[in-house]
Structure 1
Amino acid sequence: MEHDDEVEVLNNLPRGVALAWGLVKESQRGPKRELSIDQIVAAAVDLADREGLAAVSMSRVAAALGFTAMSLYRYVQSKDDLLLLMQEAVCQFPDQPEEILADWREGLRLYVRACIEVFVKHPWYADIPVSGVPITPNNLLIVDLALRPLRNLPLNDYEKMSTVLLLSSYARSTGMIQRDMERAIQGGASPGSFSGLDYTKALKLLVKKDRYPDLQPIIESGVYTEENPADNPVGNDFDFGLERILDGIEHYLASK
């Protein structure tokens, strides 16, 4: 009876999730089974990387593989399932050496940077809305990797998961900003439009102290437009923000 209950639980998983866990037998139909789920997902990821998420359709992916869309449906039954499998495929993080676990701050830095890299390397990733808690193998492994630097800290399970969520949220927002910057630059925007260097002189003329009493001195100093970035002790805005989050976690640990 217990085995039957377990089978029923697994059978109730969404099909895309079941595919990710290898719980669905691949179709035996089709021309000599020349296709596989991995091939389909890899073609879809390649298409999305080159042309964006809007270009991904069952027919486009099928054409890239030299098959009809109907052939794909024997393996992946919906576009939603395909999108989930695409996200799962690109979420493969390097394992963390044991020595990293001794330095929880460095372990969490590596986790955040690996998350950001996914958004930059696969710009379409964040175009797929969050639809629920991670329940696919690679995504759960990422959660596990994030938890490892917290292993020996005096945090309960709720505090550990909340810490991971905090860092994941920062990584997601930072990754999306970096992704958007990359997209704009590839589209012809000047890097100076993001640093502000293109507008330094104009802003110094336009931003007056009577209307912008606190912003004007920062523009005048050159920090706002990265004309003078020396006041940032860690080199860039994103690392500065991450270090302050880690400081907050460290302060919280000291208070326990």
Structure 2
Amino acid sequence: MPTCRTCGRELPSATRGRPAKYCSRACRARAYRERVAEKQQAGEPTDSPGTALSVDRIVRAGIDLIDREGGAGPSMRRTAAELGVGVMSLYRYVSGKEELGRLMIDTVFGEHPLPEPGPAGWRAKLELSARNEWQIYREHPWIPQLFALTTRPPIAPQLMSYTDWRIRAVDDLGLEFPTMVRIAIMVSTHTQSSAYPLAVEQFAHDTREEWLGARSGRIQEAFTSSPLPMIAQFGADAFEASQPHSIFEFGLRCLLDGVEKIISDRPAG
């Protein structure tokens, strides 16, 4: 059985034409970047910024740009400027910013594959997958913002592989398939929502502590103008509890406790 030259996954046998070398565009893009890096280390010439445009180069430019400068989503115009080409040149390779965003997400998730078979036990597997996804959002905090802009999930195989992996993690527990799907999606939804504030923090000119300190007067006014007895008790511990990473860890533990209750309550047999 042929395997992907990048990630080693099995590839379907070709029924016509040349056999595939990679399982996805993400793996093909990763292989291309590795070849370019090898040429640079060897002192060989590589493509100049304005030539040899390809889907992989466009996707990588979009990722590098938004990682560096932020933004709520990909921009065809800014990506074209990053590559030093006219914006219409990009439309020969991608249909628009929606497809560009999908390919960017697929590439990023393809660079963080979940291990096979993973740790023993459904809970350890779901924890690992959630923390893997959390790390993706820490490195690329624009992704949760991009998810929030659409009511439809991107058709990105590498992203979908996380859902597939999670369903397989709970596949032998006697649960109905719709329940397993809900569990898999809930883990991702919780991780995305907890990571949403990370994009704001990445490009903020001050820390959360500095931001609150500069608004201490207005906060005190809010305490005196409205009955907020619980909020008025906020201190260092409560502030730490409200941080995105704390919300993520606490919510993940509660979510998995709930899954454990579902498993224990399932009908015998």
2:171 alignment counterpart: 151
2:66 alignment counterpart: 48
TM-score computed with the length of structure 1 as normaliser? 0.68
TM-score computed with the length of structure 2 as normaliser? 0.65
2:175 aligned with 1:165, yes or no? no
Cα distance in 2, alignment partners of residues 71 and 55 from structure 1: 20
Contact 1:49 1:124 in 2 (8 A): yes
2:133 alignment counterpart: 115
Contact 2:109 2:158 in 1 (8 A): yes
DSSP 3-state at the match of 1:130:
coil
Identify, as 1 or 2, the structure richer in helix: 1
2:261 aligned with 1:251, yes or no? yes
Cα distance in 2, alignment partners of residues 94 and 41 from structure 1: 18
Cα distance in 2, alignment partners of residues 135 and 21 from structure 1: 16
Instruction: State the superposition RMSD in angstroms.
Output: 3.6
- 1:135 pairs with one of 155, 166, 177: 155
Contact 1:87 1:125 in 2 (8 A): yes
Contact 2:130 2:187 in 1 (8 A): yes
- 1:181 pairs with one of 167, 179, 201: 201
1:238 alignment counterpart: 248
Cα distance in 2, alignment partners of residues 46 and 205 from structure 1: 43
- 2:238 pairs with one of 224, 233, 247: 224
2:44 alignment counterpart: none
Contact 1:88 1:139 in 2 (8 A): yes
DSSP 3-state at the match of 1:145:
helix
Contact 1:58 1:79 in 2 (8 A): yes
Aligned length: 214
Deviation readout 1:182-202 (Å, 9 max, x if unpaired) = 333xx2x234258x78999x9
Unaligned runs of 5+ in 2: 1-23, 29-50
The one-letter amino acid paired with 1:173 is S
Cα distance in 1, alignment partners of residues 182 and 104 from structure 2: 26
- 1:96 pairs with one of 107, 115, 118: 115
The one-letter amino acid paired with 2:254 is R
Cα distance in 2, alignment partners of residues 214 and 55 from structure 1: 37
Name segments (4+ residues, structure 1) moved above 6 Å. Answer: 18-22, 196-200, 202-206
Cα distance in 1, alignment partners of residues 96 and 173 from structure 2: 43
206 and 136 in structure 1: CA distance in 2 versus 1, 3 angstrom threshold: closer
The one-letter amino acid paired with 2:196 is M
2:76 aligned with 1:62, yes or no? no
Bigger CA drift: 162-171 or 237-246? 237-246
The one-letter amino acid paired with 2:252 is L
Deviation readout 1:177-230 (Å, 9 max, x if unpaired) = 23333333xx2x234258x78999x9899958x9444455x547x53234xx7x
Deviation readout 1:75-101 (Å, 9 max, x if unpaired) = 12322222221222212233224351x
Bigger CA drift: 126-135 or 40-49? 126-135
Q: Give, in angstroms, the shift of residue 146 of structure 1.
A: 2.0
Unaligned runs of 5+ in 1: 1-17, 23-32, 230-234
Cα distance in 2, alignment partners of residues 205 and 127 from structure 1: 32
Bigger CA drift: 118-127 or 50-59? 50-59
The one-letter amino acid paired with 1:48 is I
1:11 alignment counterpart: none
197 and 151 in structure 1: CA distance in 2 versus 1, 3 angstrom threshold: farther
Bigger CA drift: 241-250 or 144-153? 144-153
Cα distance in 2, alignment partners of residues 59 and 159 from structure 1: 42
Deviation readout 1:6-50 (Å, 9 max, x if unpaired) = xxxxxxxxxxxx98899xxxxxxxxxx822110111011111111
Cα distance in 2, alignment partners of residues 167 and 223 from structure 1: 26
Cα distance in 1, alignment partners of residues 187 and 150 from structure 2: 16
